[in-house]
Amino acid sequence: MNTGVNWEHYHNTGYSCQSSVCSCGGSMGSIRVLGLYLIILAVLATNTAKEITSNRRSFEVDYENDQFLKDGEPFRYVSGSLHYFRVPREYWQDRLRKLRAAGLNVVSTYIEWSRHEPRRGQYDFTGDNDIEHFIKLAEQEGLLVILRPGPYICAERDLGGYPPWILHENLKIILRTNDSSHTHHVRSWLEVFLRKIQPYLYGNGGPVIMVQIENEYGSYPICDRRYTFWLRDIFRSYVGSNAVLFTTDGNGSFYLRCGPIPGVFITVDFGHGVNVTNAFKPLRAVQPHGPLVNSEFYTGWLTHWGEPEESGASTSGVVNTTRSLLAMNASLNFFMFFGGTNFGFTSGANNPPFQPQVTSYNYDAPISEAGDLTDKYFAIKSVISEFFPITDIPVGNSSKGSYGRIVLEPKISLRDSDTGIVYNNTTYPQTFEALELYSGLLWYETTLPLDFSGTSLLMADDLHDRAIVYINKTAVGVLSRSTTTSMFISEGAGQPLSLLVENQGHINYGQMMDLKGLVKNVTLDGEVLTDWKQTGYPLDNVSHIATLPTVEHVDLPAFYSARFQLPETLETPLDTFVDMTGWSKGVLYVNGHNLGRYWPAEGPQVTLYLPGPYLFQYPDYNTILVLELEKIHPDRTIEFVPAPIWKLKFYV
């Protein structure tokens, strides 16, 4: 072993060795020999440590040469966003393998706090929440991993990934700031999560090369540097030098004013159709050196209810900009490479104006919502192959089920069901969060004044988000923060007045403080209505409704159900889509799985994606349950079709 000791140096400074005896020419020789011995041991230990360090796995930013270094060698990545929470666990490996087969070497995923801590202090990392299993599968498929744990992630998810219970803890909390009622919960969550992923960091032998702090903080109107510095220090204490910490912001000087954090690597995001050299100029103004990274290179776009068609991005535009990015030696992350589905009540909303997002997160991504490889997939794979060798990995599309049409039978009206939570009466209406109701519906009921007559203006300012108005159990109109929060009523003196309010998803981008329900008082011709009875319907445990006896008639909103079998010849349940044409608005469940909100009357999404793993093979029966709010299909039927429908046309 080369210890690095210069023996000639020691000889020239008075040390000499003859035979096995070393002396220093004086009475202190023996002490000095001992000192020399200790020095030699120290040098040996130091150089041994250096050798161990040099053999240690490392992923770092080489600012001097504008590149990443992986184990000391230049490295760049082509990544794809694939969110584990938007696809059943059974399909994780399939989707990851399809990323790798396209030539990608990294997968990027947000971490959704609300999934892992659905109630304060109650953590869940099992089943579809098993992020450790997802990371292991990625590594098994030859992919490195980028984690984006926020705590705010946006992601078009309810409250941007924050657990809504955090709003109940302090109804005046200021999210994404140094507000102590906020940081208290953030610290508790991050300590649990970061400790869990430490073994998977690249320096510790795992595949995680990068970890993001916050998310597009430069887009947030509150520029709280105390908060971002505090976050940085927490992340550093767990990640250290075992992975690269980074931030992501828009590629404009405005966004980079407050988004970057000192000592943290900076990346930007932008879509196709731009001059990429110019697109990186704002980044170079604040970070003159280091590798260039587009952390969200958009392959498509999100879609809101009420838009004329599904959003998207042209394949040629995406391909051309990909080529430009790779030609300038940049790293990039396709957002999204696989979009997936906002199952249940997980989709969020943009604001202003308030725009709730559809259940599908197909995103016009290279891999479709059902896992199929699109023309965009193969075009991207082709351009990647111009810069990187691509291993031939066999992947393909799966068959889809066309299971026919079934008739749903009426079960029970929502108000007659046992799914509601009755709260104490209050003088003024309470929000969802004040009542610790974080999803579904809230039924508000009061009584119209006895002296009410003629035509009066009913106003529900700050209605969040949409309400069906009833007088004596008869629907008389709809109010919505997206359209109008007032209406004229002309009858019902002394009769019950009810507003069935729907939470359409907490805002994920924009003004984050988004309480649900009747946030302000309801007035009739300017007079405040008081004495409210409130019943909450979280709609998270309704499977037993399907077992109730069928009845001849139910008043809307109501539950409808049916049982069905798959074909006997089918070896494995196939993915399918549930066509809700003819129904108006509601929620769909299959075998206890909440497939999400449907709203074909508004569009553009008409079908809901039903993954094969949610279905039972023959001879077992499958159960479908529908909660319809406004209008049922004339024949009470739904149909299982092999392809998604957008605006009543098959999407190809």
Residues with catalytic annotation?
216, 296
**d(C-alpha 486, C-alpha 455), whole Å:** 13
**d(C-alpha 271, C-alpha 297), whole Å:** 5
Name the CA radius of gyration of the chain, rounded.
Answer: 30
**d(C-alpha 516, C-alpha 520), whole Å:** 10
**Token duo for residue 116:** 């892992």
Whether the upstream peptide bond of residue 449 has omega within 30° of 0, thus cis, is no
Count how many residues are written for the chain: 652
- According to DSSP, residue 324 is labeled H
**d(C-alpha 245, C-alpha 247), whole Å:** 7
CB-CB contact of 488 with 457 (8 Å): yes
Residues 6+ apart with CB under 8 A from 128: 84, 85, 88, 89
Determine the 3-state secondary structure of 351 from DSSP: coil
Please give the sequence-ordered ranges of beta strands (E in DSSP) within 448-592, or none if there are none. 456-459, 463-464, 466-471, 474-480, 486-489, 496-502, 507-509, 517-518, 523-524, 527-528, 533-537, 558-564, 576-579, 586-590
Please give the sequence-ordered ranges of beta strands (E in DSSP) within 111-156, or none if there are none. 144-148
Q: Which residues of 350-372 are buried (b: 16+ CB within 10 A; e: fewer)?
A: bbeebbbbbbbbbbbbbbbbbbb
**d(C-alpha 182, C-alpha 638), whole Å:** 45
- Cβ-based neighbour number of residue 46 at 10 Å: 12
Q: Which helix (H) or strand (E) holds 236?
A: helix 225-239
CB-CB contact of 419 with 541 (8 Å): yes
DSSP string, 24-70: -SSTTHHHHHHHHHHHHHHHHHHHHHHHHHHTS--EEEETTTTEEEE
CA dihedral 569, 575, 579, 580 (to 10 degrees): 120
Determine the 3-state secondary structure of 190 from DSSP: helix
From 218, 280, 285, select the one nearest 247 (Cα to Cα).
218
* Strand-pair partners of 146: 108, 210
**d(C-alpha 122, C-alpha 435), whole Å:** 19
